[in-house]
Every structure is written in C-alpha cells, then in structure tokens.
Amino acid sequence: MHVHREDTVLVLTGKDKGKKGRVIRLFPKVDKALVEKINMVKRHTRPSQQLPQGGILEKEAPIHLSNLQVICLKCGKATRVAHKTLASGQKTRVCKKCGEILDKEK
C-alpha cells in the first residue's frame, strides 16, 4: 500500500478535495483509510452507558486509498510513491518528486 498509518495525505476527490489530514487507521481488505477530520459524517446514537444523553455525533468515515496522495516530508508536495530496495535488502517508499525516503525510522 502506498499509504501508511501516521502519514500526512492530501484528498484528491470528493467533498473534502484539497484538504490535508493524518491517517489514523487503515483497512487493507477494503483499500480504505480513516483520515483525521476528513469525510466527517453524522451518526444518530441512542442513549447508552457511555453516552447517557444520546444524540447526533460527528465522526470520520473511511475514504478510499485511490482518493489519497502522500505528502512528502522533505519537499512538502503531494506525490506518488515509488518502492525501492535498499542495499541492506529493506524495502522502502520513496518520493517520486525529490527522491527522499518516506518511511520513518522505527
């Protein structure tokens, strides 16, 4: 996948086109991601133990990965992602515009 958790992404299409956000969670089986403050939907909830008053909540809905583009940390531009194998044999993601490695050291 070209998007990983904690990446900053740009939304390419939809009601939030042009907005930037941080990836909170990924759903690889359905190729979707949850992005902070993007694709907000209203959810009508009944009163429960955690929310005694019930009401209408706003939360993020998953957005398809094809509608997201990773933002490079070095050049600051939205870019496509190349995959490169380093000399050590480790596979990494690389910015197509500036050639900088996108994967953070773990």
Each residue of 47-76: pLDDT tens digit? 999 999 999 999 999 999 999 999 999 999
| Band (105; pLDDT cuts 50, 70, 90) | low
Residue 61 and residue 91 in one domain: no
Residue 61 and residue 86 in one domain: no
Number of domains in the chain: 2
Catalogue the long-range contacts made by 99-106 (C-beta closer than 8 Å, 24 or more residues apart).
100/72, 100/73, 100/74, 100/75, 102/7, 102/70, 102/72, 102/73, 103/4, 104/6
- Confidence check: pLDDT of 104 > 90: no
Q: pTM of the full predicted structure? A: 0.88
| Band (4; pLDDT cuts 50, 70, 90) | very high
Residue 54 and residue 98 in one domain: no
- Confidence check: pLDDT of 94 > 60: yes
